[in-house]
Amino acid sequence: FVFNHTSDEHEWARRALDGDETYQGYYFTFPDRTLPDRYERTLREIFPEQAPGSFTYRPEIDRWVWTTFHHFQWDLNYANPAVFRAMLGEMLFIANLGVEVLRLDAVAFIWKQMGTPCEGLPQVHTLIRAFNALVQIAAPAMLFKSEAIVHPAEVASYIAPEEAPISYNPTLMALLWESLATREVRLLRHSMSKRFEIAPDCAWVNYVRVHDDIGWSFADEDAAEMGIHGFDHRQFLNRFYNGQFPGSFASGLPFNYNPITMDMRISGTCASLAGLEQGIELGDETAIDHALRRILLIHSIILSAGGIPLLYLGDEIATLNDHGYKADPAKADDSRWAHRPAFDWPRAEHRHDPATAEGRIFQTLQRLIQIRKSSPVFAGNRTLFFDTHNPHVLGYIHNHHLLVLANFSEAEQVVSRNVLNVYWSIPKGAVDLVTGDPLPDAFELRLQPYQFMWLMPVLNTSEQG
């Protein structure tokens, strides 16, 4: 639900362009650059390559219009009560169609105030609470999901029963890719230990990829506590996922490089970022195998950590980057089209053959989803991240009963049972739900390259809750 702005082709914008002052009041329009210039002193450019600046001149009305994202997307003026009422009406119309979850797009941007970045202001939360309160009266089955790609501490500020009970988890997503690049889980573990816990009646939406680019949305202070310089680390990650870093397996593409701030994001499908595209191009069977293992590893995290897993269409069959967008002038300057291809139905037919990349990913994901559906232990948000004393192995305990270990390196790794016993008293009869094998009675647990384990004692249903 895009509620920060409308298209300039929307009826309200068309009426504003026709000179209707009522509808001009639905937006922010200015007769000259005086106020826009003052606002822009504290605004950041969202798309500096495609849409520099935050205001667009419209000769039809001889006015400047606030356009945070693109010249054709006009920001709405929520200081105008008529806008609030109109957008509430749109929400309720959608609810009457049967929609149960409404994704609040670009939620942090909906309030403007001179001298601020106009992101995440207190009035934003007031507006969301007001919308939520009214929606709960008229359509109590509908929930809000926040989409706030902001500082990790600010992401959590939107998650509450009275605001958005569910939210994307961009920090987990970014740090899954960070851990694949570094082969270390220190920053991922540390950040999740600090930031994963939310109210018990709320939930994260955990994901690996979506339709947008990847921004390295970890907190600099979290990185500093691990001895990592945030700015330098982002430069490394950009080079790694662009394939510019020596030894990189990734075939990502740069998106929106800002030469002033050196900020940049990464485009690409999960499979291409994980190394499958490069492995196929090189004809390297080991590289292909490692890429498929990486894809399954990070999906195993979003399926087993607390929250709601979200799979991006095409990732279930290891879809590669579509470089054809470069031949389309309307898309050539936006690398996100590389991971927005038309669905490849002929390729999807290979999902039935486990000997293919498509089949290996699809059938393994199906099995993991079935395991998740079959046990109540995967419900809820209670997740304890702990130090496995192996920098390459992530460990966490979900709902007290499920122990997850995940090896983020292409080498075999070991974890001592003594370390695990500090956090989880390993019972006799524990099994790996992924393989069905009993936990070996050995001093050390060995994980193969990119292997993950879902360890759980055999419990009855009442114990699992």
What's the average model confidence in pLDDT over 260-271?
A: 94
Q: How does pLDDT run across 420-430, given as a tens digit for each residue?
A: 989 887 777 89
Among candidate residues 105, 284, 344, 387, the one labeled active-site is 105
Q: Is the pLDDT of residue 174 over 70?
A: yes
The pLDDT of residue 459: 58
Distance CA 4, CA 74 (A): 8
Q: What is the CA radius of gyration of the chain?
A: 24
Instruction: Retrieve residue 224's tokens.
Output: 């500093």
Q: How does pLDDT run across 286-295, given as a tens digit for each residue?
A: 999 999 999 9
Q: What domains, with CATH codes, occur in the chain? A: 1-168 (3.90.400.10), 380-464 (2.60.40.1180)
Q: Is the pLDDT of residue 199 over 70?
A: yes
Respond yes or no: is residue 147 known to be catalytic: yes
What's the average model confidence in pLDDT over 216-237?
A: 97
The pLDDT of residue 147: 87
Contact 204, 307 (CB under 8 A): yes
Q: What is the DSSP string of 80-147?
A: SHHHHHHHHHHHHHHHHTT--EEEEBTGGGS---TTS-SSS-HHHHHHHHHHHHHHHHH-TT-EEEE-
DSSP state of 19: T
Among candidate residues 75, 119, 147, 263, the one labeled active-site is 147
Q: What is the band of 465 on the pLDDT scale with cuts at 50, 70, 90?
A: very low
> For the whole model, what pTM was predicted?
0.92
Distance CA 318, CA 271 (A): 5
What's the average model confidence in pLDDT over 244-251?
A: 97
Q: How does pLDDT run across 1-26, given as a tens digit for each residue?
A: 999 999 999 999 999 999 999 999 99
The pLDDT of residue 461: 46
